[in-house]
Amino acid sequence: MTEVSVREIFKSYGKVEALRGVSFEAERGELFGIIGPDGAGKSTLFRILTTLLVADSGSATVAGHDVVKEYNAIRACVGYMPGRFSLYQDLTVEENMEFFASVFGTTVEENYDLVADIYRQIEPFKKRKAGKLSGGMKQKLALSCAMIHRPRVLFLDEPTTGVDPVSRKEFWQMLGRLKEEGITIVVSTPYMDEASLCDRIALIMEGRFIGIDTPRGIVAQYGAPLYAVRADRRGGLLNDLRGMEELEACYAFGNEVHITAKQESAETERRVAEALAAKGYGDVEVRRIEPTVEDCFMKLSRR
C-alpha cells in the first residue's frame, strides 16, 4: 500500500528553485531515505509533505490524504522531526513529551509502549531542561515527541546531523524497530554512509532526484570499474591524475583519489601507477574497489 505519493513537485523561493520536479512513492512500512548535500531541497520537500508549505505545482498524498486539501487529516497522522528547533528548550524532558501528546489529544501513558525503547534511555533525565541535553539525547527526545501520537508516517529531516557516531548508529537501530511496527519513515541525511540503512533511497541534488532505487540497485548502476589511488604525497595527486588523458572521472575520496578509465583495460592499474611514479610519487597504490553510494552520487551529479 502506498503511504506517500509525490508527483512532479516544484517550489521556488523568489529566484531560488528549491524543488524542480520531484516524484516518488513510499510504501507502508518502508524506510525511504532522501540523500543529498545542504541546500539540495530536502527540508523544502519535508515542509510540503507535512503541510507547512504549499508547492507551486505538482501534487502529493500522505496516508491517502491530499497535502493541500486535507491538511488537517495529515497533521493528525504524521510525525515530523524538523532539522532544528523542534523541542522547547526551556521545558523539561517530560514537559516536552506531555506538551506534544496534549497537542494531539493523547497522553504519554496511552502510547508509552511505542516510544518506550527510546524514551526509557532519556527518562532518567526527565526533570532536565531539553536545552541542557546532549546532542544524542536531544535527538531521542525529539523522536519520542514526534511519535507520541502514534503517527502512521514519520518525516525525519536530518535527524542525525551533528550527532556523534555511536548515537547515530543507535538512532538508526531505533528506526529499524519502528519500521517493524508498520510505520512508514521518510528520512533525510547528508551522510552517504547512512544510505545503506534505508530500504530505498532517492539521491537529491539542486532540487532534482538524480536516482531512486535500493542502495544496492544504485550501486549496481555504477557500470564502470572503479579504482582507488594513493601515494606518499597527496598534494598535486588529484591534479596530476586529472591531467591523464585516459581517465574519465577523478575525484578526492577521503585520503585517496577515485578514478575510472575512459577505456577499461587490463593495463589500467599498471599504467596509472607507472605514470605517477614517473612524476616522482612514491608508494603508489592503485587498486580496484567496489563503488559506494557516494561514488554513485558523484557520478550521477556530473551528468
Please state the closest distance from residue 88 (CB atom) to ligand ADP, in A.
22
| Nearer to ligand ADP (CB atom), residue 185 or residue 241 | 185
Task: Give CA–CA dist 242/258, Å, rounded.
Answer: 11
Please state the closest distance from residue 287 (CB atom) to ligand ADP, in A.
34
Please state the closest distance from residue 16 (CB atom) to ligand ADP, in A.
5
136 binds ligand ADP per the rule CB under 6 A? no
Record the cell numbers describing residue 45, joined without a space.
520537500
Record the cell numbers describing residue 69, joined without a space.
486539501
Please state the closest distance from residue 189 (CB atom) to ligand ADP, in A.
10
- Cα dihedral sign for 205, 206, 207, 209? negative
Mask for 150-189, x = binds ligand ADP (CB under 6 A): ----------------------------------------
| Nearer to ligand ADP (CB atom), residue 44 or residue 92 | 44
Question: Angle at CA 198, nearest 5°, toward 195 and 203?
Answer: 50
Number of residues that bind ligand ADP (CB under 6 A): 11
Please state the closest distance from residue 36 (CB atom) to ligand ADP, in A.
6
Relative to beta strand 226-230, strand 256-261 is antiparallel
Alpha-carbon distance values, 130 to 95, 172, 179 (Å): 9, 21, 26
- Kindly give, in sequence order, each residue whose CB lies less than 8 Å from that of residue 28, ignoring residues fewer than 6 positions away: 1, 2, 3, 182, 184
Task: Give CA–CA dist 271/280, Å, rounded.
Answer: 14
Mask for 11-50, x = binds ligand ADP (CB under 6 A): --x--x-x-----------------x-xxxxxxx------
Q: Residues interacting with ligand ADP, by CB under 6 A? A: 13, 16, 18, 36, 38-44
